[in-house]
Chains A and B, each alone.
Chain A
Amino acid sequence: MRKSSKLFAILSTAMFVTALGTAPCYAEEVTINFWHHYSEQSAENETLNNVLIPEFEKENPDIKVNAVSHEWSDLHEKILISAKSETLPDVARLDSAWVPEFEKMGILVPLNQEMDDYQEVADGLLESAMSTAQIGQDTYGLALNTNTKILFYNVKAFEDAGLLAPTTMDEFIEDCKKLAGENENGQQIWGYDEPALAGWNLCPFIWSMGGSITNEDQTKATGYLNSTETVNAIQTLADLYKEGAITGWNSGDIPMTDGFGTGRYAMIMDGPWKISEMEGSYPDFEYATAPMPEGEGGSHSVLGGEDISMFNTANKDAAWKFMKFMTGEFAQEEMAKCSQIPVNKATLESDTVKNADFAPFIEAIKSAESRPTVSCWSEIDSELATAVSAVMNEEKSAQDAMDELAEKVDDLLAEE
């Protein structure tokens, strides 16, 4: 009897010890994969890898974060491919323009349905930014940062030409022509650089000159994408290109930052990250910023910004923790130090933000518009670039190209 009770005691102790031993197993280390498009050489990427992830891993010792940097267009491609092969990461930083597309593919988690404390988290973030992740009644991501583009100009070039920063579209066009020419080495100078011909690049011009991509309901492009105003915007850019006043989207052109920093492009339009980029590469270069010039349609820059989303194959608990961390005050403030405009309401009130050099961007966001929030946007975007590139190379008139494009986009929108 005694023997057996002893045995029992031993057994139960053993079981208890085993249970203790296995207890940490529940908290077994998980690794979550986080894909993003902070450029590999950027300050944001440094902050992410050297400040944020270590801090997160310290707070959550059982979670490891494997962050992977992709180039912007590669990230889109990689997510499509991985969706097909069920090798998606747990969390990704997505261009908000992609959210509808990925939602349609059914790979994003509706956070408001699956996360208990969703509302609490969402309330801490800017509503306007959060709306980029909302489709129908559900929300498929947390706003991570917001941005828009404003005009950067070369102070010395403007002084030498006796010009002030352009405030209207007409002034902008005139300035481009005036600033273009040759420098003392006989190298060509352009008034303005536009590094690509996608929606992100063209929309500010189209909108500010009174044009549009689709109707309000985003169901039709004919009459909008080929309206007189839109065609006029494209034609204006094509004329400037023909005169040698603007350039940038060609494969052989000088990259934007280098061209601006070496005085070859007098103006560029870009987001807040340009500030730290210029500081890193051309610290002595003197530039200033101005809002998007005002045209018939007003002054409308393009609303950018990223959401952080969770894929349905994710380790949801760990992923959600990481998402909350990234949108939390600490991470948002650290990222604000490298020119990422925060969306966390508390961070926006902090001194870091008040003293930040992205104040003009916050102002510009108020009048910025977002690109069509449709799932076929990537396709529309690439068709737009192809069509406008044909106009630039004088293969088609702006009217013909936009007429054809509008028809294609109508078909794409009809499939929505």
Chain B
Amino acid sequence: MKISKKAAYKGIIYLILTLGLIIVVLPMIYMLSTALKPNGALYEYPPRFFPKIKEITLENFQYILRQKKFGNNFINSIFVSTVTVAIAAVVAAAMAFCIARFRFLGRKFLFTFIMLTMIIPGTTLIVPQYELAVKLKVINKLSGLIPFYVAWVIPYSTFMIKGFVENIPRELDEATYIDGGSVFTVFFQIILPLTKPGIASVSIFNFLTAWEEFPWANTVINDDLKRTLPIAISGFFGQHQFTQWGYVFALSVLSLIPILVVFISCQRFFIEGLTAGSVKG
């Protein structure tokens, strides 16, 4: 009796979770199914959630893959995101290490400032940052994206990695110093290896940020071939022209693949990372 009650309880939990799940993934499935419909069927009546089996076509994907520029957009996005992640990881880990372990002049000030800038929405700085990009002559260049993205993700990354550093016992540092190690030795041989899960989780987050960033890239980049994916996708989208939803969603589906691969292969780190950061507060 008691067991069956418990089983029923579990059953209800699975039921609710599954129902919720269906609602949550519904838009994604609709996107995929639209990408698989022939373009002419987009204003069909009655509208269908799934395409008819015999209607299913890869023509939208083929169109996207035929256009060379989307390949460029893809590579641009990969390049910008990867470089951003790499620079941000090293730079933020070094800052986090110093702030967590040493008392230096302006330490508190620096940390407060980092925390404060986490609060300011990045987009509010778009005007002065644009002027800066102009002065640096990086308008319409991928190098006009990367340093800004790095600066953007540094506060959050530093804050999260600092939590990880603080979890590493100080005794390990001290033992290294006694053995004649320097600050560098501690950083490279103790801190970096031990904060790897934290850095990994922050990096996934940073990758996502750079991968999907829209307003800045939209402002800085002009050329078709230099666009990143979000700009390329929105480029299909003339408000009152005709929008080829099939193409839009085919490109969207393709652009989701790398991020899915990154996320699924690293999701263990990701969840650990959020755990550590959020529980520490």
**A and B: direct contact (Cβ < 8 Å)?**
yes
Chain A residues with a Cβ under 8 A of chain B = 35, 39-41, 66, 68-71, 78, 81-82, 84-87, 185, 187, 195-196, 248-249, 251, 254-258, 262, 277, 281
Instruction: Report whether B43 and A262 are in contact in the complex, using a CB–CB cutoff of 8 Å.
Output: yes
The one of B46, B222, B242 in contact with A78, judged by C-beta atoms closer than 8 angstroms, is B222
Query: Smallest CB–CB gap between B25 and chain A, Å?
Result: 24
Across chains A and B, the number of contacting residue pairs, with CB separation under 8 Å, is: 56
- A87-B140 CB under 8 A given contacts A68-B223, A254-B43: yes
Looking across the interface, which residue of chain B has its beta carbon closest to that of A78?
B222
CA gap between A257 and B42 in the complex, in Å: 13
Looking across the interface, which residue of chain B has its beta carbon closest to that of A248?
B240
Instruction: Report whether A41 and B244 are in contact in the complex, using a CB–CB cutoff of 8 Å.
Output: yes
- How many B residues, CB 8 Å from partner? 23
The one of A66, A84, A257 in contact with B241, judged by C-beta atoms closer than 8 angstroms, is A257
CA gap between A249 and B243 in the complex, in Å: 15
CA gap between A84 and B131 in the complex, in Å: 9
**What 20 new A-B contacts, CB under 8 Å, besides A71-B235, A255-B241?**
A35-B222, A41-B236, A66-B223, A81-B130, A82-B222, A84-B134, A85-B130, A85-B133, A85-B134, A86-B134, A87-B134, A87-B139, A196-B240, A249-B240, A251-B239, A254-B43, A255-B240, A255-B242, A255-B243, A277-B242
CA gap between A258 and B222 in the complex, in Å: 28
Residues of B within 8 A of A262 (CB): 43
CA gap between A262 and B131 in the complex, in Å: 46
- A71-B238 CB under 8 A given contacts A81-B219, A85-B134, A86-B134: yes
Query: Smallest CB–CB gap between A77 and chain B, Å?
Result: 9
Proximity bits, B214-233, A CB within 8 Å = 1, else 0: 00000100111000000000
Chain B residues with a Cβ under 8 A of chain A = 42-43, 45-46, 130-131, 133-134, 139-140, 219, 222-224, 235-236, 238-244
CA gap between A85 and B129 in the complex, in Å: 12
Residues of B within 8 A of A256 (CB): 240-242
Query: Smallest CB–CB gap between A92 and chain B, Å?
Result: 11
Looking across the interface, which residue of chain A has its beta carbon closest to that of B63?
A41
CA gap between A144 and B47 in the complex, in Å: 42
Instruction: Report whether B235 and A85 are in contact in the complex, using a CB–CB cutoff of 8 Å.
Output: no
CA gap between A84 and B236 in the complex, in Å: 27
- A85-B45 CB under 8 A given contacts A39-B238, A255-B240, A255-B241: no
CB-defined A-B contacts under 8 Å, sample of 28:
A35-B222, A39-B241, A40-B224, A40-B235, A41-B236, A66-B223, A68-B223, A68-B224, A71-B238, A81-B130, A81-B219, A82-B222, A84-B134, A85-B131, A85-B133, A85-B139, A86-B134, A195-B240, A248-B240, A254-B43, A255-B239, A255-B240, A255-B243, A256-B241, A256-B242, A257-B241, A257-B242, A262-B43
Residues of A within 8 A of B236 (CB): 40-41
CA gap between A146 and B99 in the complex, in Å: 64
Query: Smallest CB–CB gap between B190 and chain A, Å?
Result: 46
Residues of A within 8 A of B243 (CB): 255
- A187-B238 CB under 8 A given contacts A69-B224, A81-B130, A87-B134: no
CA gap between A35 and B224 in the complex, in Å: 11
Among B130, B222, B236, max chain A CB count under 10 A is at B222
Instruction: Report whether B242 and A281 are in contact in the complex, using a CB–CB cutoff of 8 Å.
Output: yes
Query: Smallest CB–CB gap between B72 and chain A, Å?
Result: 14
Among B46, B219, B238, max chain A CB count under 10 A is at B238
